[in-house]
Amino acid sequence: MKKLLVLALTFCLALVAHAQDLNARVQVLAPKIQTSNKRIFQSLETAMKDFLNGRKWAADEILPAERIDCSFVLNITSWDGSSNFSAELQVQSSRPVYNSSYTSTLLNVNDKDFDFVYTEGQTIDYSDQTFQNNLSAVMAYYAYIIVGMDYDSFSKFGGSPYFAAAQNVVTNAQSSNFKGWKAFDSNLNRYWLAENLNNKTYAPLREFVYTYHRTGLDAMADNVTQGRKVIDGILPLLTQLDRTRIGSMLPTLFFSAKGDELVNIYGQADPQERVQALNVLSQADPANGTKYQKLQGQ
């Protein structure tokens, strides 16, 4: 009997391990909230972590060592003392670079339109078929975005099923009154990120992300020059992105995640390469032109 119990427990633990696609770190902050009872914030943090790490988001089996590193920092901006919250959510994700200890940022987004309802001790429920609540919908949405971006960086357009799943979350949320899900709420919100990722207009940027990581960054551990040469060849594609189109959120997030990394990559290049990179990046991402000027003086 004891052996049967041990085997059953081992089997259950194996199922739980296989369900964990994300390695999500969750932090709930409430510096503006004056209350002596912090238990609800601790309860919320635990519930979010369990929800993100306890569900199966990817179609493939992901080994524990392959779980996708990500972080969710929830900054509570207002609370009615009961169950209604307003917050900002900072979401980041990264992927390892082959044969190195370096991790490359894939997503860095600050979601400022996040209102939700949560009661201490509540189990967070979610369904792909219907909109149940804003807390689970927003987290599921970003979980699919994170998995999709990870897949896109390892295989060309590999993230498409997960971006479609994120779009489905957006569609289901159209019936809600919460902000961030509708086209007219903002030019930079959840609606537009999902739209961009599923829009063929931005397919060249998704293809760039794949080539940049798989044959550029992943090759640099063995041969820095060769890996950078690959990136040299595709870098001009960034100047062809349509930044004037309404809802062009994907290019904005790309440069937010990759701007500093690109400066570091070309910081060790020869002067001619640095100048070429400076010219391309300044044209493709003029909003961060000052950042790229560092390449001129190195």
What's 139's DSSP letter?
H
- Say whether pLDDT at 20 is over 90: no
Sign of the CA dihedral with 100 first, then 18, 153, and 149 last: negative
Q: Domain ranges in the chain?
A: 201-298
Give the pLDDT confidence score for residue 242 in this predicted structure. 79
Give pLDDT tens digits for 237-272.
999 987 777 778 999 999 999 999 999 999 989 999
How far is Cα 142 from Cα 173, in angstroms, rounded to an integer?
Answer: 14
Give the largest Cα separation in the chain, rounded: 73
Angle of CA points 240, 241, 245, to nearest 5° = 130
Q: What is the spatial order of strands in the sheet that 68-79 belongs to?
A: 22-29, 68-79, 84-96, 103-117
Please give the structure tokens belonging to residue 284: 């493709």
What is the pLDDT, as a whole number, of residue 2? Answer: 36
- Band (pLDDT 50/70/90 cuts) for residue 13 is very low
Nearest to 284 by CA among 246, 244, 247: 244
* Mean of per-residue pLDDT scores for the chain: 91
Encode pLDDT of 21-35 as tens digits.
Answer: 999 999 999 998 988
Place of tokens 């000052």: 290
Tokens in use for 58?
A: 């990817």
**Which pLDDT score is estimated for 298?**
55
How do residues 113-122 score in pLDDT, each as one tens digit? 999 999 999 9
Distance CA 46, CA 25 (A): 10
List, for residues 86-139, the tens digit of each pLDDT value: 999 999 999 999 999 999 999 999 999 999 999 999 999 999 999 999 999 999
Predicted local distance difference test score (pLDDT) of residue 283: 93
Percentage of the residues of the chain whose pLDDT score is greater than 70: 93
Q: List, for residues 156-189, the tens digit of each pLDDT value.
A: 999 999 999 999 999 999 999 999 999 999 989 9
The pLDDT of 50-69, averaged and rounded, is 95
